Structure 1
Amino acid sequence: MEIDLKTDSRKVKPGDTFIAIRNVNRDGHDYIPQAIKNGATKVIVEEGNYDVETIVVEDTRAYLKDYLYKHYYPYFKDMKLIGVTGTNGKTTIGYMMYQMMTMLDIPCAYMGTIGFYYCGNFIKMVNTTPDVDVLYEYFIKAKDAGCKVLVMEVSSHALAKDRIYGLEFDEVAFTNLTQDHLDFHKTLENYANAKQLLFKKTRGKKIAVINGDDPHALHFELEGNQNLLISDQKGDVLIQNIEFSHLGTTFTFKYQEKEYQTHIQMVGRYNVYNYLTAMLLIHELGYEINTILALNTKLKAPKGRMELIVCGTNGIFVDYAHTPDATLNVLESAQEFKKGKIITIIGCGGDRDTTKRPIMGEIACKHSDHVIITDDNPRTEDPQKIINDILKGVSGDYEVINDRHLAIAKGMSLLKENDILMILGKGHEDYQIIGTEKIHFSDQEEVEKYIREHTHD
């Protein structure tokens, strides 16, 4: 099935209808001539009259959302829909669930930061949660491919901008809430309220899995949902006895008066919460806990989430941490199993929340033996201004190397015996955005290249 309304004039084929959507950076009305040239036989607009059938409506975006919901939602509404929100952990949970369901032979899909995976297919994505027309298009692809369950990351932007219009969720999950995206939401309260909207869109059993140890947990325990809390103090799932190594984490948990011990090939206390969230969501689909635990030997973290590269006795971890909380989590995790020194490479993205920059600099210095401050994705902002903002929070042993390539090479050169190098901020990304240009750049490739060039037989 294909959506017969197009918002992108480049995708218009003969006989299609083009709808002109106004965005902050683009007005679809400017592309109507191109859409008609490509074969559009009808246009839906907010103003004007054109050479093809023209329908004028007050708000084309509202019209589009209603149209999609009425004409296409019934096609895929029988798929089980699971939504995961929170500042950190969404990708890890979503990707783990996709792996688990695939191993359990459940035809499934996962949509999030690292892409759209559906029944063995893959599409690269621009946004964590795409706009409503692309979202519905992906849901249709999943349904066409035979998917029975779809798990998706649901960003605060998507919730605030109603990109998930019309969708209802069988299961929802909350990971944590820490400072991020305040350039958009302005206050932490607005940020929390945006994420809470997901928990008002439940259906069926209304399963809500919540990190009970997050200070904002109560905000997501809505009446009417079946709330299941994960906690190391008091919750439906009680975490006990966590043991770390650089190869993974062993822990015990209690659920419904039964005790379980398991091992995951991921490091960090926060990943215990991520894993248990994924496990519980799968369990609530009707699968025994022991059946799910048996999958752990094949379960992998998503690319760029504490991704380990071994170099002699040293461990290099590449992680997407780009918020204060995520930075603290990964560095505290490294402290749990370090034998030598921790060297951290960190930067911050341009044209984004500036208030978190000195906080991240402070955290990096406090939990590392040496810090290298470098560029991330400066975008259209002056890279030196970004670094100056980070420097407001730093102290102790640090240096500035703007060029990320040189920064990684320096970090690698400092490794002695049993040291850890943390390369933070970009994770799975294989590019840098400098100005408006996207340039190929991969932290992993830089590390592997250095190892090749400096390792002698």
Structure 2
Amino acid sequence: MTAFGLSELLLDLPVIARFNFQEIEVKALSDDSRRILADSLFFAINTSRAQGVDFVPQALENGAVAVIAEVSPPQNNKIPWIQVENIGLARLKLAQKFYGNPFENIQCHGITGTNGKTTTVFIMEQVLKHAGYKVALLSTILQRIGTQQQASELTTPGLLDLYAFAARAVEAGCEHLIMEVSSHALDQERIAGMNFSTVLFSNLSQDHLDYHGTLEDYFAAKSKLFTDYSYNHALINIDNAWGQKLTSAISATKLVTVGREKGVFSPQNVEVSAQGIAMTLPQLSEKPIKSKLMGDFNADNLLLVAAWAWVLKLPLPSVNKALQQAYVPGRMQLVYNKASRKVFVDYAHTPDALERVLQVVAEICTGNLHLVFGCGGDRDKSKRPLMGQVAQKYSRFCWVTSDNPRTEDPQKIIDDILRGMAESKPQVVVDRRVAITQACRALQADDCLIVAGKGHEEFQLVGDSKLPFSDSQVIWEAFND
């Protein structure tokens, strides 16, 4: 276990004042009062809802032994309290020192964009593994170091968790770190101090406007990965208009454009069918590369991965194997059931993602297309009627239900969705389990069902509770009860 004396840890850190200072041993760093380890140094950082010092009592109760804050301590303070001018900078400097600057000892690859990030990082990980490298992965679904993994709480962890993870990865002998980089993480500087071997941009469409306000501000946050951080190569999907715009901010010596028709890296003879995807990539091979993944959007993901592998000069057999075996939980995942019905689970939770998934299944479905979906609570409300419009356009039968309502009334969320579905009469079933069960039992032999929005998730957020819930499990139960 890493440990520092407090004086040693604070050496070279600009400090305004020290109160009740004494030499103690610090064994952990934390900025979350709910997740304090014994002998932690606690960073009292403000949130959107409260002042950082408001969390100090809980932090002390849970095991913190010292506090860093931008304000002086209360009069009854009895522990070491360090006052600094910029607590964000202090947190970064101490994380680098405590965890031994892990990003200097591992090659990092980050991807940002609205859709496709998770699929892309999973395939990137497999390419490197097939090439013989030990890899660490940070994704929306899970965090993985070698063969050890755990479920993710955030797409991109907080800064201290990120540094701790990278340090463990380096200690485990990982040579590469593959990660999704969210717009929230970029805006909140969670990846401060990182440098990258490669950075990638997939696409951008409406999402997270509850946080960013406008699509332009959302794009500005995503752009920070390419303007505020050091990297060797930037791979940009220029088939997306926002990708084209992004290229102007990137040095020509580092830019690699990727696109179907234009770009430094472009495919030939792209074929997308119910059997999967095939494309010829002249920079890699004259023979077509194939994958069992379906959909035009996955062709974009595969193309971006292939371009990335080309830039890194990774062996072609490793690329081929990774693309052929590509599988991502909760992303166009066909769920087994004893009735042999075609039921897909997908994480699509934006208008663009939902439309792309529906288009793919519509092309392979010889019967009626059924859809179960909802929208998350306490999130971008403007996309709800847009998703309703998409659902109305492509599905023959539709169940509008709860997603993760959080603190909102599920029925009010559904009402927002229905404003985009004036031309159809969807089934409204607030209980997601009931909606999925009804939809499964309504399927005929040639029909297809998409259960969208939650994908890999094994929980449902209702109020302040995180309840066990898996779309895949409910589907299995619907056919096996």
Equivalent residue, structure 1, for 2:471 = 443
Cα-to-partner distance string for 1:184-223 (whole Å, 9 max, x where unaligned) = 111111111111110124545x211111210111222133
Equivalent residue, structure 2, for 1:217 = 243
**Change in CA separation of 1:16 and 1:281 when aligned onto 2, cut-off 3 Å:** same
2:379 to 338, 352, 359: 352
2:45 to 8, 12, 21: 21
Aligned partner letter, 2:397:
H
Equivalent residue, structure 1, for 2:208 = 181
Equivalent residue, structure 1, for 2:18 = none
**For the residues of structure 2 that align with 1:84 and 1:430, how far apart are their CA atoms?**
24
Residue 396 (1) aligns with residue 424 (2) = yes
Extract unaligned runs of 5+ from structure 1. Answer: none
State percent identity of aligned pairs.
Answer: 36
**For the residues of structure 1 that align with 2:53 and 2:291, how far apart are their CA atoms?**
52
Equivalent residue, structure 1, for 2:352 = 325
**Change in CA separation of 1:251 and 1:362 when aligned onto 2, cut-off 3 Å:** same
Q: SS where residue 409 of structure 1 aligns? A: helix
**Change in CA separation of 1:341 and 1:12 when aligned onto 2, cut-off 3 Å:** closer
2:126 to 99, 102, 110: 99
**For the residues of structure 2 that align with 1:20 and 1:422, how far apart are their CA atoms?**
44
User: Which runs of structure 2 are paired with 1:15-414 in the superposition (5 Å)?
Assistant: 15-33=39-57, 35-36=59-60, 40-45=64-69, 46-48=71-73, 50-69=77-96, 72=99, 74-203=101-230, 206-221=232-247, 222-224=249-251, 225-246=253-274, 248-256=275-283, 258-300=285-327, 302-311=328-337, 312=339, 314-394=341-421, 395-414=423-442
**Change in CA separation of 1:325 and 1:73 when aligned onto 2, cut-off 3 Å:** farther
CA contact (8 A) 2:336 2:476 kept: no
Equivalent residue, structure 1, for 2:448 = 420
**For the residues of structure 1 that align with 2:322 and 2:108, how far apart are their CA atoms?**
22
Aligned partner letter, 1:20:
A
Paired residues, number: 450
Residue 434 (1) aligns with residue 468 (2) = no
Q: SS where residue 237 of structure 1 aligns? A: coil
Cα-to-partner distance string for 1:338-369 (whole Å, 9 max, x where unaligned) = 21111111110111100000110110110111
**For the residues of structure 2 that align with 1:156 and 1:229, how far apart are their CA atoms?**
21
**For the residues of structure 2 that align with 1:35 and 1:229, how far apart are their CA atoms?**
47
User: Cα offset for 1:35?
Assistant: 4.5
Q: SS where residue 476 of structure 2 aligns? A: helix
User: Cα offset for 1:170?
Assistant: 1.0
Larger deviation, residues 26-35 vs 95-104: 26-35
**Change in CA separation of 1:345 and 1:387 when aligned onto 2, cut-off 3 Å:** same
**For the residues of structure 2 that align with 1:32 and 1:308, how far apart are their CA atoms?**
47
CA contact (8 A) 2:123 2:323 kept: no
Larger deviation, residues 24-33 vs 118-127: 24-33
Q: SS where residue 216 of structure 1 aligns? A: helix
**For the residues of structure 1 that align with 2:38 and 2:378, how far apart are their CA atoms?**
39
**Change in CA separation of 1:441 and 1:13 when aligned onto 2, cut-off 3 Å:** closer
CA contact (8 A) 2:99 2:164 kept: no
Aligned partner letter, 1:142:
A
Cα-to-partner distance string for 1:27-52 (whole Å, 9 max, x where unaligned) = 44234345456665432222215222
Aligned partner letter, 1:325:
D
**Change in CA separation of 1:209 and 1:71 when aligned onto 2, cut-off 3 Å:** same
TM-score by length of 2: 0.88
Larger deviation, residues 58-67 vs 266-275: 58-67
Q: SS where residue 238 of structure 1 aligns? A: coil
Aligned partner letter, 2:352:
D
User: Cα offset for 1:245?
Assistant: 4.2
CA contact (8 A) 1:244 1:337 kept: no
Aligned partner letter, 1:393:
G
Cα-to-partner distance string for 1:264-292 (whole Å, 9 max, x where unaligned) = 12111111111222232233333123441
TM-score by length of 1: 0.92
**Change in CA separation of 1:7 and 1:202 when aligned onto 2, cut-off 3 Å:** closer
**Change in CA separation of 1:291 and 1:16 when aligned onto 2, cut-off 3 Å:** closer
**Change in CA separation of 1:14 and 1:438 when aligned onto 2, cut-off 3 Å:** closer
Cα RMSD after superposing both structures? 2.2
User: Cα offset for 1:244?
Assistant: 3.9
**For the residues of structure 2 that align with 1:71 and 1:405, how far apart are their CA atoms?**
46
Q: SS where residue 241 of structure 2 aligns? A: coil
Larger deviation, residues 311-320 vs 359-368: 311-320
**Change in CA separation of 1:306 and 1:42 when aligned onto 2, cut-off 3 Å:** same
